[in-house]
Every structure is written in C-alpha cells, then in structure tokens.
C-alpha cells in the first residue's frame, strides 16, 4: 500500500528526514515512536503534501502511484488522510459545509456521484453519534471553541465520513483525557481496522497503543528508522525510554 524508500526531506533548509524507509501493507497498523525533533511530524506532513517541506531524495509510492508527484488534493482523493496533532480552527465555515465539500470533491475526482444534502447529513449524524459528536457541534464552525478532546473526536468524525484507504495520524492522543482517549482509539479501530486499509500512527505514548494495538512499532530517531518490532517494543520504550535505542 505505502512504500517509502530512502526518503530525505528538509524544512527551512534544515535536513530533517535522513534516509527513512518503511513499508505499510493493507490491513496493517504501524506505530511510529521517537523523541522530540526526530522527524515524526515531518514525515506526516511530507506524506500529506504540506507546503514548505521539500523532498530532496528517495521515493514514496501509494497503491503503486508516485505519491510525491501528486498535489495534496490528489493525495486525499486517492485515499490518504492526515490527522493533525493540533487540528486547526476555521472560523466562518461549518463542519457540515466543510466536510460535504471535501467529500464530494474527492468523489468527483474518483468519478463517483456526489452525495445529496440529505444523504450526507445522515452519514454525518451516524458518524457523529458513534464518537459522541452531536449535530449541533457539526453545525458549528470547524473546531472553533472546541476543547482539545472535542477537536480530536471531531477529526475522527471527519475520518469516518471521508473513509480513507490510509490514515496518517500525528499524535492523535495529544491532549486527551482517559475517556476521550478510549473514544478516539475505538474510533480508529472501527473506521480503519479493515483488510483494505492501513494506519500510520505517530505517538509518544503506550496508552493509545493499548487500544489501537499495532502490528509493528518503529523507533524514529535522527530522521530515520533505527529499530522495528512488534507491540512489545512500545512497552519496552515506555519502561526504558528512547536513549539506548536511538544511540
């Protein structure tokens, strides 16, 4: 599904990714862990096509297509979803307006019929109810006035509506209390734990991985993967920290 080979990338002239390689197959959840400044968020932004992140070497393919040759909207239409550590606020634009526009733009790009207003509202209500997000919240401006937990649950509603093939989730557990963490983790499992989907889960902590148990855990340090293993690696990191592994 996703193949990253010897990826190098710079931000503001500074090299952040230094030869990162990773394979994610359909049906797999991969967790990326590592110290601050290791390049975890940079990896997510490079995959999502964010401006200001320059790829200087290597390749990335997604479902056999050259991901780096695609604009950000084309990557989304192809099935890539990027979740943010700090979801942005969009004053003046309601969630339902934003999401219906985004979903129908992707459907058009794939040659699929657009959803009517009624069909979309039914879908939004269904996804919202599963994550504790009311229609009143969905009618509000995107993330404006939302708590940290509400923003993350709202982002999971977005993911459920968009229904991507690959979700790249950057510290989705950041700022969540125990209850919100469980709701978000179970949302990831419900939406993305399928044989035709994949997840790249960037996190600092074991606690989310107790809910969304990964197939593989990778330690990212100094811009590259320095160690890989199963779920037990995350527990080892929780006990011992990154120092010895990243050395």
Task: Please give the angle made by the CA atoms of 166, 76 and 27, to the nearest 5 degrees.
Answer: 10
CA distance 28 to 198: 5
Residue 9 phi, psi (nearest 5) = -150, 150
Sketch the domain layout of the chain as residue ranges.
2-246
Determine the pLDDT at residue 245.
61
Per-residue pLDDT in tens (0 to 9) along the chain, 247 residues: 999 999 999 999 899 999 999 999 999 999 999 888 889 999 999 999 998 999 999 999 999 999 999 999 999 999 999 998 888 889 999 999 999 999 999 899 889 999 999 999 999 999 999 888 899 999 999 999 888 888 888 899 999 999 999 999 998 887 788 888 888 899 999 999 999 999 999 988 888 999 999 999 999 999 999 999 999 999 888 888 877 664 4
pLDDT of residue 165: 95
pTM, two decimal places: 0.90
User: What's the pLDDT score for residue 125?
Assistant: 93
DSSP 113: P
From the options 3.40.50.300, 3.30.70.590, 3.40.50.800, 3.30.70.270, give the CATH code of 2-246: 3.40.50.300
Q: Which two tokens stand for residue 107?
A: 């459907």
CB atoms within 10 A of CB 88: 8
> What is the spatial distance between Cα 211 and Cα 7, in angstroms, rounded to a whole number?
30
pLDDT of residue 29: 97
- Strands lying side by side in the sheet with 29-33: 80-83, 166-170, 198-202, 29-33, 216-221, 224-229
DSSP conformation letters of 57-106: EEEEEETTEEGGGS-HHHHHHTTEEEE-SSPPPEEEEEHHHHHHHHHHHH
Instruction: Give SS3 for 49.
Output: coil
Q: By the 8 A CB rule, do 6 and 58 touch?
A: yes
């Amino acid at each position: 599904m996703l193949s990253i080979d010897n990826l190098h990338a710079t931000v503001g002239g500074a090299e952040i990714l230094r030869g990162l390689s990773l394979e994610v197959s359909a049906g797999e959840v991969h967790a990326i862990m590592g110290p601050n400044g290791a390049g975890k968020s940079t990896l997510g932004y490079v995959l999502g096509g964010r401006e200001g992140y320059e790829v200087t070497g290597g390749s990335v393919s997604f479902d056999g297509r050259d991901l780096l040759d695609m604009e950000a909207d084309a990557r989304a239409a192809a099935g890539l979803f990027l979740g943010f550590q700090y979801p942005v606020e969009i004053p003046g634009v309601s969630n339902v307006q934003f999401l219906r526009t985004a979903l129908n733009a992707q459907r058009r790009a794939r040659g699929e019929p657009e959803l009517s207003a009624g069909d979309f509202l039914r879908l939004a209500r269904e996804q919202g109810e599963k994550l504790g997000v009311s229609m009143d919240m969905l009618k509000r401006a995107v993330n404006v006035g939302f708590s940290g937990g509400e923003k993350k649950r709202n982002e999971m509603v977005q993911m459920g509506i968009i229904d991507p093939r690959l979700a790249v989730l950057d510290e989705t557990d950041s700022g969540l209390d125990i209850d919100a963490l469980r709701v978000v983790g179970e949302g990831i499992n419900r939406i993305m734990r399928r044989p035709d989907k994949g997840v790249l889960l960037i996190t600092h902590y074991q606690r989310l991985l107790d809910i969304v148990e990964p197939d593989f855990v990778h330690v990212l340090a100094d811009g590259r993967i320095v160690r890989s293993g199963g779920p037990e690696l995350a527990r080892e990191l929780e006990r011992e920290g990154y120092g010895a592994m990243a050395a």
